[in-house]
């Protein structure tokens, strides 16, 4: 056996193990669900952090993702990879979470505009320079930039996830790119 064959066999075994975990979790096995949680916690948190730009919000959104996952795992049919399905669930739940938080901040602090809420909610805690710049972006521009440039969603998909027009998504993406170029050229 060559190394390529061994790697392929390992991948097949891992896929079969994951599929068995998913089926067990769908049938209510909390131990199997815990293993899925441990396997995907880092990826879910990383995406939530990129989308929210805030460590605390990302932690809360991650918790919501896994609550939603437990409640909707029966809907996973296996037509796509589990990681792909979970990625979409994470993006959708995080976007919904951000909308609720924005409304809460505006009500709680009596903020008049979304920009003031952004100022209160922003907490840059990124480890590398680009992440710091991305986190400085206004919320809608950051959301579109991360979903399109980092995560690879099309503007049509972003439109459905965020309830913004496709043209607005494209405009926000271009706004984000312009701001990032400006910031990176000045620093």
Residue 125, pLDDT score: 33
Arithmetic mean of pLDDT over the chain = 82
Q: pLDDT band at 126, cuts 50/70/90?
A: very low
> Environment class of residue 172 by beta-carbon count within 10 Å: exposed (0-12), middle (13-18) or buried (19+)?
buried
What is the average pLDDT across 59-84?
91
Q: pLDDT band at 15, cuts 50/70/90?
A: confident
Supply the DSSP string of 54-70, one letter for each residue.
BHHHHHHHHHHHHHHHH
List residues bridging with 123 in a β-sheet: 54
Q: pLDDT band at 187, cuts 50/70/90?
A: low
* Domain extents in the chain: 124-187
The answer on pLDDT for 88 being more than 80 is yes
Q: What is the pTM of this model?
A: 0.63
Residue 109, pLDDT score: 41
Residue 111, pLDDT score: 45
Supply the DSSP string of 148-176, one letter for each residue.
IIIT---HHHHHHHHT--HHHHHHHHHHH
Question: How many separate helices (H) and strands (E) can be counted in the chain?
Answer: 9, 0
Identify the architecture of domain 124-187 in CATH: Orthogonal Bundle (1.10)
- Separation of alpha carbons 112 and 134, rounded Å: 24
The residue to which tokens 């809420």 are assigned: 117
The answer on pLDDT for 96 being more than 50 is yes
The answer on pLDDT for 20 being more than 60 is yes
Residue 123 sits at φ, ψ, to 5 deg, of -145, 95
């Amino acid at each position: 056996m060559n190394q390529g064959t061994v790697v392929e066999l390992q991948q097949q075994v891992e896929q079969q193990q994951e599929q068995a975990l998913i089926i067990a979790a769908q049938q209510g096995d909390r131990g199997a669900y815990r293993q899925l949680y441990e396997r995907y916690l880092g990826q879910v948190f990383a995406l939530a952090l990129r989308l929210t730009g805030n460590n605390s919000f990302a932690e809360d959104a991650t918790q919501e993702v896994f609550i939603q996952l437990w409640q909707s795992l029966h809907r996973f049919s296996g037509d796509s990879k589990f990681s792909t399905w979970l990625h979409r669930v994470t993006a959708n739940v995080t976007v919904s979470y951000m909308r609720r938080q924005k409304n809460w901040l505006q009500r709680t602090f009596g903020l008049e505009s979304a920009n003031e809420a952004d100022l209160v909610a922003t907490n840059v805690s990124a480890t590398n320079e680009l992440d710091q710049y991305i986190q400085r972006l206004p919320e809608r521009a950051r959301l579109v930039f991360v979903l399109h440039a980092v995560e690879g969603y099309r503007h049509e998909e972003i439109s459905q996830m965020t309830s913004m027009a496709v043209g607005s998504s494209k405009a926000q993406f271009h706004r984000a790119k312009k701001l990032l170029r400006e910031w990176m050229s000045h620093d």
